[in-house]
Amino acid sequence: MNNYYLKRTIRAVLTVWIVITLTFGMIRLLPGGPLEQLRGKLLRQGVSPSRVNAMIESYQNVRPNQSLPEQYYEYMTALLTGDLGQSFLQKEPVTAIIGDALPWTVFVMITSTLFIFLIAIVWGALMAYKEGTTFDLLSSSASILFAAVPFYVLGIGLVIVFGYQLELLPTGHRLSPEVEPGLSLLFVLDAVDHAILPIASMVITGAGLQVLAMRGNAIQVLGSDFVRVARLRGLSDQRISVRYVARNAILPMYTGFLTLIGFNLGGSIILEQVFSYPGIGYYMYQALEARDYPLMMGIFLVITVALVLAVYVADLTYGLIDPRVKSGDSREAY
Amino acid sequence: MSLRTEEMDGNSVRDPVIRMSDVSVTYDDGESYVLDGVTVPIERNEILGIVGESGSGKSMLASSLLDAVPDPGQLSGSVEYRPEENESTEVLALEESELRRLRWEEISMVFQGAMSSFNPTMKIKEHFIETLEAHDAIVGVGMDRARELLEDLYLEPDRVLQSYPHELSGGMQQRALIALSLVLEPNVLVMDEPTAALDLLMQQSILLLLQELRAKYDLTMVFITHDLPLVASLSDRLAVMYAFELVEIGPASEVIGSPTHPYTRALLNATPNLNAPLSEMRPVEGKSPAPINVPSGCSYHPRCPLATEECRANHPPDEPVSPGHTAACFHWEEARTEIELNYDGAETGGDQR
Amino acid sequence: MKPTDSTSDADTAQPTIISDGTDTETFSFETSGSTVEVTWRERLRDFYEEFIYKPGLVAWDDRRTRIGAAIMSIYVFMGTLGAWLYPAPSTNQVERGLEPFETLSAPLGSTGSGQDVLAMVIHATPEMLIMVTAGGIFATGVAVIIGTVAGYKGGSVDRVLTSFSDVAMSIPGLPLVMVLAVVFRPRDPVLIGILLTINYWAGLGRSIRSQVLTLREESYVEASRTMGVSTPRILFKDIIPNLMPFVLVNFANAARYVVFASVGLYYLGVLPSSVDNWGLQLENAYSQAGALVGGGALYQLIAPMIAIMGIALGLILLAQGLDRVFNPRVRTRLAGETESTADEEDRETNTEVNM
């Protein structure tokens, strides 16, 4: 048992370390781009070469005249002390930008994923109970249809209809200019107002396949022997649907739920661009456009760590909700 | 035909706890039978063994006793339940709530595959408690009885109750399931292949335990299996199923020692036997029919060496062989001489088994 | 979770027996090339029977497969003949800002720079199909190789490959692809397809591995092993064919992912804009204020949107229909209508009759 937790922990740490090393390598692969232009510009402006080098170094976290292991050591120690470098674009520390943007992205993504699974569980179970009826057929078709829509396509559609044409909801930004973050009702309402469309486009397009998965699980459980025996034992329908069907059908979806949060964080790059919603995905895109490598790599690392963390938490907690995997080793999170 | 059966049964079964009469289960709007006109009384406190190949309809027979045929199967006929000698209930006419009480409180069931009969995410204890609660029984008293039952089945009550199903071995799960089925003190216990997934030693020990339980709790047992030798020693009476019908029924010693239906004889010859050399072992030739194309007349005629025109045209009645022993065959007398048995002690009608 | 029905077990064992039996004439020529040839041909035919024709029938029986296949053939038609026959989009080829259904020369209207919208949709198809195929083949191919080798070999090979997949799976796909797109600036659609699925295979490889773990315990695989058949032969003869339905389902899923990701990245402008793509079309239409405010240019958005959703729908339907072959739960109920129930268990008989 301890062995299992230890193994998972080591694996998580190892993955993060490999990704860090990977980003270290990628930064060196990246074309010079605007940094080289900047260097030229600064030199032409008469800034002393040593200062220019220092500035460039702080932007790229690279000290070219050091040996590779030395560079690697500095890069790692800087990361461990929470230093992700300086954003070239925003003229701010990367950590400050991420600290400002991450909560918004996490809010949107966790809310969407929660809704996706709530809908999936309730709707999928209903479909399973009514297997073969018109309701089931229509719902299945609708699920497939919605799953065929990329979230950003629906997002564009929603912005056009609700934002530009009906002018019901904002077309971008996380808050209205006049609203200050704080613990006020106005702030909460305004934040929700701005997040509705992004969340809706994630939920509507993401729920379809999960609904179908839940339906399949529930049908399988409904046909299982233990449900039949439970009926014969005289248990109430309510108890059977909650303790027997729901519980056993939801279990296999638990890991998927946590990992989906992680994956959706990656999707935020496109989503937040469509909605001009300044979360980490929005900044990642900005950084990509401007070749702002420190910011780009910082956000990349954060998203990776979030995904690794989600899988890690799923691994560690699955044993708590499914008694069959107490011993752990035989099963994996995927 | 049915009249004569009644008479015969009247001779052998004095006080039936359940009387199945002409029970059929059909699918596809009556086009395919998975149980075809089964008539059998079950004597109070007996162990009735029902033997048949896979797909012969034995599980359907078990489900019929509790009016629990899986949808969309149509159950017809009569299942009369007699809790006391002079009380009678028609099971198939019960309301849903009455049926809920009948099941488990009066007639209980153990399914094949105990592994899949428990909710994998609940402790064994919860299964007992929820069953007691669903039947408005006092949980404290019921759990004491559960412990006693588990002890009777040579399990450690505390350990088993605190376990999840997967933490128990197959044999332990099976015994826990038997205890669960007896926790409401039913009169009748129906067992559908209860030992199929277990090894031989475990099978034997469970059979011994079942005999002890019957004596202690005055149980009537219906034991359904494909394994003829297994029930032979356990049962008081044996019924043989073929193609969704009962083809032979009688006292266990007679059905084994002096079988009359050609199918029973073929089945016995196909059974591995310590005394008979392997070369003499014969599988039952041909295939048993699927529910959609049961042969006309005697359903066994395509496989039967004694089949005549009569067998192809007419459905054989249950012929009385001896008191309490019937066989649905026109040629049961010939069968005794024409189809040789390959094991010792046959034809003497004795209790060799 | 066994990917094939019970009959295939018997039948995979049979081919060798059958071919030995019918080969008696060739056998008298002694073991020369011809024997091998006939056996190979027969084996191929058996393979086709068992793993393409029969599952195909089951899949085809599902309405979703048929609709999905129909949709996909429209795209293939559009990407081959359509792109060949229909003139390519260029600026000022027609009048600017045409509404849909105004003229036959631009049935779906034209953009602000006078490009035929329909031509843009059609000429984006070939690249998309190549991308989708490349991505699907790469993702499923790598997954099959890594999954089967890890599952079949076990031991340290398994540990290394599994850890490798674990790490690959933990890297978020879209951000990684974006960074790589910036680094490599890929223009070739095959390359883009591969890049997009650069770590998509990992999760799939894991599921294949666990299936191989169950398959290798099957009696017919064990029989091959005891007969001294080499590992690659077992993998190709016994294991991979049985994974085919599952692989096909995931091929369709990977393909859909490639569609979504590529269009998304083109929309963002992360991928170089050398190729016609529905994402570029979306971006152009969306960035034009007219498309948003007036609603006058909405048609420019709708055409690529329908193209994207159509191909995704086709792929989902195919995956769902094929899943029927793979998923035994759905499949037994179907098989029950045709197959004899005699040798099945009572319980199964019941469920089959249920249908």
For C15-41, b/e burial (b = at least 16 CB within 10 A) is bbeebeeebeebeeeeeeeebeebbee
Tell me whether residue C281 is in a domain: yes
Query: Average pLDDT over chain A, rounded to whole?
Result: 82
Regarding whether C211 and C76 lie in a shared domain, the answer is yes
ipTM: 0.81
Q: Which helix (H) or strand (E) holds C149?
A: helix C117-153
Contact B34 C350 (CB under 8 A): yes
Contact C342 B58 (CB under 8 A): no
pLDDT above 70: percentage of residues in chain C: 74
Regarding whether C138 and C80 lie in a shared domain, the answer is yes
Name the band, by pLDDT with cuts 50, 70 and 90, for residue A145.
very high
CB A221 within 8 Å of CB A244: yes
Name the band, by pLDDT with cuts 50, 70 and 90, for residue C120.
confident
Give me the mean pLDDT over the B211-217 stretch: 86
Contact A266 C282 (CB under 8 A): no
Collect all residues with Cβ–Cβ distance below 8 Å to C242 and sequence separation of at least 6: C3, C4, C8, C51, C215
Contact B73 C350 (CB under 8 A): yes
Q: Compare CB distances from C172 to A30, A165, A266 and report the shortest one's residue.
A: A266
Regarding whether C173 and C299 lie in a shared domain, the answer is yes
User: Quick one: closest CA in B to A326, which residue?
Assistant: B167
Q: Write down which chains contact chain C via at least 3 CB pairs under 8 A.
A: A, B
Distance linking the first and last C-alpha atoms of chain A: 19
Q: Which domain holds residue C201?
A: 68-324
pLDDT, residue C293, reads: 53
Whether C163 contacts chain A with CB within 8 A = yes
Tell me whether residue C293 is in a domain: yes
pLDDT, residue A65, reads: 61
Residue C207 is part of a domain; what is its CATH number? 1.10.3720.10
Query: Mind listing the pLDDT tens digit for each residue in A288-301?
Result: 887 777 888 889 88
Contact C178 A216 (CB under 8 A): no
Give me the mean pLDDT over the B79-93 stretch: 85
* Separation between Cα atoms, residue A304 and residue C280, nearest integer Å: 28
pLDDT, residue C136, reads: 93
A228 or B9, which is more confident?
Answer: A228
Name the band, by pLDDT with cuts 50, 70 and 90, for residue A126.
very high
Contact residues on chain B for A225, CB-CB shorter than 8 A: 111, 113, 116-117
Whether C341 contacts chain B with CB within 8 A = yes
For C134-145, b/e burial (b = at least 16 CB within 10 A) is bbbbbbbebbbb
pLDDT, residue C267, reads: 87
Query: Average pLDDT over chain C, rounded to whole?
Result: 73
Q: What share of chain B is helix, strand, coil (3-state, %, to 5)?
A: 40, 20, 40
Q: Which helix (H) or strand (E) holds B27?
A: strand B16-27
Contact C172 A307 (CB under 8 A): yes
Name the band, by pLDDT with cuts 50, 70 and 90, for residue B277.
low
Query: Residue C245: is the preceding peptide bond cis (ω within 30°)?
Result: no
pLDDT, residue A222, reads: 87
Whether C342 contacts chain B with CB within 8 A = yes
Contact C313 A148 (CB under 8 A): yes
* Separation between Cα atoms, residue A148 and residue A142, nearest integer Å: 10
| Position C201 pLDDT exceeds 60 | yes
Residue window 173-202, chain C: list those with CB within 8 Å of chain A: 173-176, 178-179, 182-183
Regarding whether C185 and C149 lie in a shared domain, the answer is yes
* Separation between Cα atoms, residue C271 and residue C264, nearest integer Å: 9
pLDDT, residue B281, reads: 61
Tell me whether residue C81 is in a domain: yes
C27 or B223, which is more confident?
Answer: B223
Name the band, by pLDDT with cuts 50, 70 and 90, for residue A122.
very high
pLDDT, residue C45, reads: 78
Is beta strand B188-192 parallel, antiparallel or unpaired with respect to B220-225? parallel
pLDDT, residue C336, reads: 31
Counting Cα atoms < 13 Å in the Cβ hemisphere of B239 gives: 25
Give me the mean pLDDT over the C105-119 stretch: 78
Q: Which helix (H) or strand (E) holds B24?
A: strand B16-27
Whether B131 contacts chain C with CB within 8 A = no
Between chain A and chain B, the number of residue pairs with CB atoms below 8 A apart is 63
Query: Mind listing the pLDDT tens digit for each residue in C149-167?
Result: 888 887 888 888 888 888 8
Contact residues on chain B for C345, CB-CB shorter than 8 A: 54-55
Q: Compare CB distances from B117 to A225, A235, A236 and report the shortest one's residue.
A: A225
* Separation between Cα atoms, residue B99 and residue B66, nearest integer Å: 8
Regarding whether C305 and C162 lie in a shared domain, the answer is yes
Q: Comparing C-alpha atoms, which of A286, A305, A303 is closest to residue A295?
A: A286
Whether C217 contacts chain B with CB within 8 A = no
Token pair 């204890």 is at which residue? B125
Interface residues from chain A to B (CB-CB < 8 Å): 224-226, 228-236, 239, 243-244, 247-248, 251, 322-324
pLDDT, residue A38, reads: 64
Give me the mean pLDDT over the B63-77 stretch: 83
Q: What is the distance in angstroms between the Cα of A243 and the nearest Cα belonging to chain C?
A: 22
Regarding whether C144 and C30 lie in a shared domain, the answer is no
One DSSP character per residue, A150-197 reads -HHHHHHHHIIIIIIIS--S-SS-SS-TTPPPSS-HHHHHHHHHHHHH
Q: Rank A38-42, A163-167, C36-40 by mean pLDDT and report only the highest.
A: A163-167
Q: What is the distance in angstroms between the Cα of B288 and the nearest Cα belonging to chain C?
A: 6
| Position C313 pLDDT exceeds 90 | yes
Q: What is the distance in angstroms between the Cα of A144 and the nearest Cα belonging to chain C?
A: 7
Name the band, by pLDDT with cuts 50, 70 and 90, for residue B274.
low
| Position B11 pLDDT exceeds 70 | no
Contact C268 A269 (CB under 8 A): yes
Tell me whether residue C35 is in a domain: yes
Helix, strand, or coil here: B26? strand
Give me the mean pLDDT over the B144-173 stretch: 89
Tell me whether residue C338 is in a domain: no
Q: Comparing C-alpha atoms, which of C314, C78, C136 is closest to residue A148?
A: C314
| Position C279 pLDDT exceeds 80 | yes
Regarding whether C236 and C150 lie in a shared domain, the answer is yes
Regarding whether C182 and C116 lie in a shared domain, the answer is yes
Give me the mean pLDDT over the A10-20 stretch: 85
Name the band, by pLDDT with cuts 50, 70 and 90, for residue C148.
confident
Q: Rank A43-47, A125-129, B81-85, C186-190 by mean pLDDT and report only the highest.
A: A125-129
Contact residues on chain C for A252, CB-CB shorter than 8 A: none
Give me the mean pLDDT over the C203-220 stretch: 81
Q: What is the distance in angstroms between the Cα of C224 and the nearest Cα belonging to chain B?
A: 27
CB A99 within 8 Å of CB A224: no
In DSSP terms, B337 is beta-bridged to none
pLDDT, residue C37, reads: 53
Query: Mind listing the pLDDT tens digit for each residue in A162-212?
Result: 887 787 888 777 777 777 777 778 888 888 888 999 999 999 999 998 998
Tell me whether residue C28 is in a domain: yes
Least confident of A329-333, B246-250, B261-265: A329-333
Tell me whether residue C330 is in a domain: no
Rg value, chain A, Cα:
24
Query: At B179, phi and psi to the nearest 5?
Result: -60, -40
Collect all residues with Cβ–Cβ distance below 8 Å to B161 and sequence separation of at least 6: B123, B124, B125, B128, B146, B147, B150
| Position C302 pLDDT exceeds 70 | yes
Interface probe for B, chosen from A130, A229, A231 (most Cβ of B below 10 Å), is A229
Name the band, by pLDDT with cuts 50, 70 and 90, for residue C133.
very high
Looking at C43, C61, C79, the residue that finishes a domain is: C61
Regarding whether C178 and C140 lie in a shared domain, the answer is yes
Give me the mean pLDDT over the A255-266 stretch: 81
What is the tally of structural domains in chain C? 2
Whether B71 contacts chain C with CB within 8 A = yes
Regarding whether C78 and C44 lie in a shared domain, the answer is no
Tokens of B69: 């045929």
A243 or C36, which is more confident?
Answer: A243
Tell me whether residue C336 is in a domain: no
Q: Rank A256-260, B343-347, C304-308 by mean pLDDT and report only the highest.
A: C304-308
pLDDT, residue A142, reads: 92
Q: Compare CB distances from C301 to A156, A265, A307 and report the shortest one's residue.
A: A156
Tokens of C26: 């060739």
A99, burial (CB in 10 Å: exposed 0-12, middle 13-18, buried 19+) = exposed
pLDDT above 90: percentage of residues in chain B: 13
User: Quick one: closest CA in B to C354, which residue?
Assistant: B72
Contact A323 B135 (CB under 8 A): no
pLDDT, residue B3, reads: 40
Whether B63 contacts chain A with CB within 8 A = no
Q: Compare CB distances from A248 to B100, B103, B121 and report the shortest one's residue.
A: B121
Contact B120 A229 (CB under 8 A): no
Give me the mean pLDDT over the A39-47 stretch: 70
Query: Mind listing the pLDDT tens digit for each residue in B289-313?
Result: 776 677 777 888 888 888 888 888 8
Regarding whether C295 and C183 lie in a shared domain, the answer is yes
Instruction: Tell which phi-psi region holds residue A67, choosing left (phi > 0), alpha (psi between -120 and 50) or beta.
Output: beta
User: Quick one: closest CA in B to A231, which residue?
Assistant: B100
Q: Rank A17-31, A248-262, C133-147, C197-211 by mean pLDDT and report only the highest.
A: C133-147
Collect all residues with Cβ–Cβ distance below 8 Å to C143 and sequence separation of at least 6: C201, C202, C204, C205, C208, C247, C250
Contact B116 A226 (CB under 8 A): yes
* Separation between Cα atoms, residue B265 and residue B279, nearest integer Å: 17
Regarding whether C219 and C100 lie in a shared domain, the answer is yes
Long-range contacts from A125-132, C-beta under 8 angstroms, 24+ separation:
A125/A214, A125/A215, A125/A218, A125/A241, A125/A245, A125/A246, A125/A249, A127/A211, A127/A215, A127/A218, A128/A214, A128/A215, A128/A217, A128/A218, A128/A219, A128/A222, A128/A245, A128/A249, A129/A218, A129/A222, A129/A241, A131/A215, A131/A219, A131/A222
pLDDT, residue C333, reads: 33
